[in-house]
Chains A and B, each alone.
Chain A
């Protein structure tokens, strides 16, 4: 197919979806005609499609069917290959593929030796080719579901995806007949999935996105300023994920089995594979109910095994792993140079986020006002597994009509690299008793930016002063005064215990302080009970335009400060 023909076809009818291409699971989503993001189920009815391909006698299996093949046909089943794309053999970690087809070196890239044709001799299939086949199946599922030929996509990738990996992914998608409109970062897609909901408003906030996947976990701090997103810090853990929790379940049941039958099912390759598959299902079931069952036929030596585990037991066993998750979150907040008090929102994304305990632990780290968006802490939370696909679908709906060149120019560093405010800009209020500062433009706001706010004037009206200042955030730590003992007679031991805990805790809060005045404006003759509107516009060169007027008034006081650059 010629390039020109391709271009014409793409222009004639481009139909784009969002794809979340994960190491363990992939999802496809689109924006329905009524503007809602919708995750598409494949032919088997799965919305989280395992990123697994399996071959039997040249027949290709995909998704859940392929995953089941890990037990009987592990040599011809390819899983966890996303992270190998566009990398050379030296730099990959083959651990996740231990129980499936092993990666091998082929030229400068990675390949799998599998029997993907009816012949007996295995073929060496490069990871790019595997990706193409996987994406082709996803495309087919979406096409079948929507009844329209899907030919373009926005795909999510981890924040640390290198240029080579991006190029390889775009090339693979092209081979699968998908025109990649844009590759977007997974955490940003997750934030956007929440912000794209019709009821959401573009408020300024600092968000932590914890993307807890099957084999790896990535956490990012993102500043949302006027609907624009800036990643402030990221942290990755390639060994922490759902698999670490599965291992706990596997070990638990394996020990139980050994006690009864004196055989370790983990020593048998097939037994281990069965335990892994069922253990994962059990772990997922524990996220929804407090009890979960596991039953495996012929686990080892032909012995059937069935047992149950409850959530408390699981949470006790997994304490260490859970603390690794929370540690990663705390680490990234610190890396961004922030305090947990600064975080307005924590979004849990990825399949492992269904685990209730993780969100509850996060709840304890962050202050009350921080919203924890996870199914166990917020009923209106979006399914964490679907977040990135939804975000990608939303972005796809935005750029679907754009020319390729247009998109490329828009994502060029010329456009994306912008100065961000290092200090918040706000208004200072002085009353007879104290001085307070209200931020109007927060730190890390991308420039140019414009904000408008209305402030009430003094009750009696008259002339008012608007002092525009730069402010800084301070964390005030106060020790609460010890409560008088006699006030509380000891009811029972529990309450007393918690009381003592409370006393030791310090109260930490955010306090804004004026750092540097920038400008002063006066509005004269404000009516009693009137309001004053302040508009601050900051140029990329740090120049300021400020306009202040009374709401309903015709004249405005304007002033400009030239930028330094």
Chain B
């Protein structure tokens, strides 16, 4: 961490008589420090921050950092544990490199198309270290057989070229996963089929490839999956299986013929591949419970909708009917009420009429009973004037006042003075109210 400075200055010798406990003598303290802001940049600051935040001392921090670094390198090495080598493979001829499994040669058969160029380079290095012909010669196996080494070189060369690697990946049987048997599919449908399409997805131009999912996948997910695969955009090609074109310059026709044949074969294989994928997909879809489930759900949804619609219509109809009936009832009731009212009014009017008639009779009778306020036989003129006044008053007063007057007169009976005073007061009241003029009343003035 802190670099050691080397200073070329001689330390003084220990003076005579210097002595201290454990050879250390504290003499004084330090002067007060200034508080300042350290700029939070640079690797040394980050180390400082790490120490301060985690309360580590310099040496602790160094140790922990060192441990972490060591662990990291170990992990990296763990990743590339090489696979056992098949003796059959080791004895391969370099000539028929086309037939070899390039990934297996490099010990990457687990990774295959997933292997990164970095991994390939590392694997190559490892294999070279083991199989270099010079090494073999040094170990005494001087059979000079470097064919496997050539295989390694060929495999690396091919796999590090993206175009050629794709050509090989297209026909890499080791990466192929066959569709599951009916029996296996019955056990766990998605687990059986999932890897098939995962492997098939390596040919996709579009990445990432949607996954098959499981029972709980949503309809949208399932639809995306099938849409993707029915419109699959594949880079798979079959150049790798091409027949070698003789390049001896002899026979241009022969060359053209082979080229044509190769092109046809490629097209045919591609078509076959497309058909194979389509058939596989059809099979998958036919057995996919989720599709059935969604269809059922959709149907159930439709039924429910229709039923709801019908219910709604029925409800509306009923409501209308009820409203109509209510309206009718209401009308009838109103009619009856009006009729009763009319009848009642009629009776009251008649009663009032009768009462008025009776009162008028009382009124007329009252003056007659007291002999028109005359002593002896009343003269015609006197009778006339009294009756005229009675008529006048009766014409001017309303029903209630008439009843009151009639009552008064009935009480007065045949007492002429009382009758006269009742009439006079009534006459005066009418004059006061302005209904009768002063001079109009003659007998009751």
Chain B proximity mask over A183-213: 1 for CB below 8 Å, otherwise 0 = 0110011001001100001100000000000
A229-B41, A410-B53 as given contacts; A557 in contact with B24, CB under 8 Å: yes
Tell yes or no: A246 within 8 A of B by CB.
Answer: no
Nearest 8 CB-CB pairings of A with B: A227-B44, A559-B24, A419-B33, A463-B14, A410-B49, A411-B40, A229-B39, A522-B23
Q: Are B4 and A452 in contact (CB under 8 A)?
A: yes
Tell yes or no: B129 within 8 A of A by CB.
Answer: no
Tell yes or no: B27 within 8 A of A by CB.
Answer: yes
Instruction: List the B residue with the shortest CB-CB distance to A185.
Output: B39
Interface residue from B27, B44, B45, B58 paired with A519 (Cβ < 8 Å): B27
Chain B proximity mask over A506-547: 1 for CB below 8 Å, otherwise 0 = 000000000011111111100000011100011000101010
* Cα-based distance from A427 to B29 in the complex (angstroms): 15
Q: Are B43 and A227 in contact (CB under 8 A)?
A: yes
Q: Are A465 and B14 in contact (CB under 8 A)?
A: yes
Tell yes or no: A446 within 8 A of B by CB.
Answer: yes
Q: What are 25 A-B interface contacts by the 8 Å CB criterion?
A: A184-B39, A185-B41, A230-B37, A232-B36, A394-B42, A399-B46, A411-B40, A413-B37, A415-B40, A417-B36, A417-B37, A422-B34, A431-B12, A438-B7, A446-B48, A452-B3, A455-B9, A457-B10, A465-B15, A520-B18, A521-B24, A523-B23, A533-B4, A557-B22, A561-B29
A385-413 interface with B by 8 A CB criterion: 391, 394-395, 398-399, 409-411, 413
Interface size class for chain B?
A: 35 or more
* Cα-based distance from A409 to B53 in the complex (angstroms): 8
* Cα-based distance from A422 to B51 in the complex (angstroms): 22
Set of chain A residues within 8 Å of B43, measured between Cβ atoms:
227, 398
A520-B20, A537-B58 as given contacts; A430 in contact with B12, CB under 8 Å: yes
Tell yes or no: B32 within 8 A of A by CB.
Answer: yes
**A→B interface (CB under 8 Å):** 182, 184-185, 188-189, 192, 195-196, 201-202, 222, 226-232, 391, 394-395, 398-399, 409-411, 413-423, 425, 427, 429-431, 436, 438, 440, 444, 446-448, 450-459, 462-467, 470, 516-524, 531-533, 537-538, 542, 544, 546, 557-559, 561, 563-564
A419 shortest CB reach to chain B, Å = 4
Q: Are A446 and B38 in contact (CB under 8 A)?
A: yes
Set of chain B residues within 8 Å of A417, measured between Cβ atoms:
35-38
* Cα-based distance from A517 to B26 in the complex (angstroms): 9
B37 shortest CB reach to chain A, Å = 5
Q: Are A415 and B53 in contact (CB under 8 A)?
A: yes
* Cα-based distance from A373 to B28 in the complex (angstroms): 41
* Cα-based distance from A389 to B58 in the complex (angstroms): 31
Set of chain B residues within 8 Å of A531, measured between Cβ atoms:
6
Interface residue from B1, B7, B26, B51 paired with A561 (Cβ < 8 Å): B26
Tell yes or no: B2 within 8 A of A by CB.
Answer: yes
Tell yes or no: B163 within 8 A of A by CB.
Answer: no
* Cα-based distance from A149 to B166 in the complex (angstroms): 26
Set of chain B residues within 8 Å of A226, measured between Cβ atoms:
2, 44
Set of chain A residues within 8 Å of B36, measured between Cβ atoms:
230, 232, 417-420, 444, 446
Interface residue from B9, B25, B28, B52 paired with A516 (Cβ < 8 Å): B28
Interface residue from B29, B38, B58 paired with A450 (Cβ < 8 Å): B58
Tell yes or no: B5 within 8 A of A by CB.
Answer: yes
* Cα-based distance from A507 to B389 in the complex (angstroms): 155
Set of chain A residues within 8 Å of B207, measured between Cβ atoms:
none
Tell yes or no: B31 within 8 A of A by CB.
Answer: yes
Q: Are B11 and A532 in contact (CB under 8 A)?
A: yes
Q: Are B41 and A410 in contact (CB under 8 A)?
A: no
A188-B39, A465-B18 as given contacts; A524 in contact with B9, CB under 8 Å: no
Q: Are B44 and A202 in contact (CB under 8 A)?
A: yes
Q: Are A395 and B23 in contact (CB under 8 A)?
A: no
Q: Are A557 and B23 in contact (CB under 8 A)?
A: yes
Q: Are A438 and B13 in contact (CB under 8 A)?
A: no
A453-B4, A522-B20 as given contacts; A228 in contact with B45, CB under 8 Å: yes
Q: Which label, helix, strand, loop or mixed, suits the secondary structure of the A interface?
A: strand
Q: Are A451 and B34 in contact (CB under 8 A)?
A: no
B136 shortest CB reach to chain A, Å = 36
Q: Are B38 and A564 in contact (CB under 8 A)?
A: no
* Cα-based distance from A487 to B4 in the complex (angstroms): 48
Q: Are A395 and B53 in contact (CB under 8 A)?
A: no
Tell yes or no: B8 within 8 A of A by CB.
Answer: yes
Q: Are B42 and A195 in contact (CB under 8 A)?
A: yes
Tell yes or no: B30 within 8 A of A by CB.
Answer: yes
Contacts A227-B44, A456-B9 aside, 12 further interface pairs with beta carbons under 8 A come to A182-B40, A228-B42, A228-B48, A231-B39, A398-B43, A429-B12, A444-B34, A453-B7, A464-B11, A521-B25, A531-B6, A559-B22
Q: Are B9 and A544 in contact (CB under 8 A)?
A: no
Instruction: List the A residue with the shortest CB-CB distance to B8.
Output: A456
Set of chain A residues within 8 Å of B42, measured between Cβ atoms:
192, 195-196, 227-229, 394-395, 398
Q: Are B24 and A420 in contact (CB under 8 A)?
A: no
Q: Are A423 and B7 in contact (CB under 8 A)?
A: no
Q: Are A420 and B34 in contact (CB under 8 A)?
A: yes
Set of chain B residues within 8 Å of A391, measured between Cβ atoms:
41
A419-B35, A520-B20 as given contacts; A425 in contact with B25, CB under 8 Å: no
Chain A proximity mask over B34-72: 1 for CB below 8 Å, otherwise 0 = 111111111111101111110001100000000000000
Instruction: List the B residue with the shortest CB-CB distance to A397.
Output: B43
Q: Are A454 and B7 in contact (CB under 8 A)?
A: yes
Set of chain A residues within 8 Å of B8, measured between Cβ atoms:
456
Set of chain A residues within 8 Å of B58, measured between Cβ atoms:
448, 450, 537
Q: Are B28 and A462 in contact (CB under 8 A)?
A: no
Set of chain A residues within 8 Å of B34, measured between Cβ atoms:
419-420, 422, 444
Interface residue from B2, B4, B38 paired with A418 (Cβ < 8 Å): B38
Q: Are A465 and B39 in contact (CB under 8 A)?
A: no
Instruction: List the A residue with the shortest CB-CB distance to B48.
Output: A228
A465 shortest CB reach to chain B, Å = 5
Set of chain B residues within 8 Å of A421, measured between Cβ atoms:
30, 33
Q: Which of A185, A394, A456 has the most CB of B within 10 A?
A: A456
* Cα-based distance from A394 to B51 in the complex (angstroms): 21
Q: Are A459 and B10 in contact (CB under 8 A)?
A: yes
Chain A proximity mask over B59-103: 1 for CB below 8 Å, otherwise 0 = 000000000000000000000000000000000000000000000
A90 shortest CB reach to chain B, Å = 29
B444 shortest CB reach to chain A, Å = 99
Set of chain A residues within 8 Å of B35, measured between Cβ atoms:
417-420
Q: Are B30 and A520 in contact (CB under 8 A)?
A: no
Set of chain B residues within 8 Å of A456, measured between Cβ atoms:
7-11
Set of chain B residues within 8 Å of A184, measured between Cβ atoms:
39-41
Q: Are A465 and B20 in contact (CB under 8 A)?
A: no
A200 shortest CB reach to chain B, Å = 11
* Cα-based distance from A455 to B46 in the complex (angstroms): 30
A13 shortest CB reach to chain B, Å = 14
Set of chain A residues within 8 Å of B9, measured between Cβ atoms:
429, 436, 438, 455-456
Q: Are B2 and A524 in contact (CB under 8 A)?
A: no
Q: Are A519 and B33 in contact (CB under 8 A)?
A: no
A228-B45, A464-B13 as given contacts; A416 in contact with B38, CB under 8 Å: yes
* Cα-based distance from A431 to B13 in the complex (angstroms): 9
* Cα-based distance from A201 to B2 in the complex (angstroms): 11
Q: Which of A231, A438, A452, A520 has the most CB of B within 10 A?
A: A520
Q: Are B11 and A429 in contact (CB under 8 A)?
A: yes
Q: Are A516 and B31 in contact (CB under 8 A)?
A: yes
* Cα-based distance from A455 to B7 in the complex (angstroms): 5
* Cα-based distance from A230 to B41 in the complex (angstroms): 10
Instruction: List the B residue with the shortest CB-CB distance to A564.
Output: B29
B304 shortest CB reach to chain A, Å = 35
Q: Are B14 and A452 in contact (CB under 8 A)?
A: no
Q: Are B46 and A451 in contact (CB under 8 A)?
A: no
* Cα-based distance from A519 to B25 in the complex (angstroms): 6
Set of chain A residues within 8 Å of B6, measured between Cβ atoms:
453-454, 531
Set of chain A residues within 8 Å of B28, measured between Cβ atoms:
470, 516-519
Instruction: List the B residue with the shortest CB-CB distance to A465.
Output: B14
Set of chain B residues within 8 Å of A518, measured between Cβ atoms:
26-30
A228-B42, A521-B23, A523-B23 as given contacts; A458 in contact with B4, CB under 8 Å: no
Q: Are A542 and B29 in contact (CB under 8 A)?
A: yes
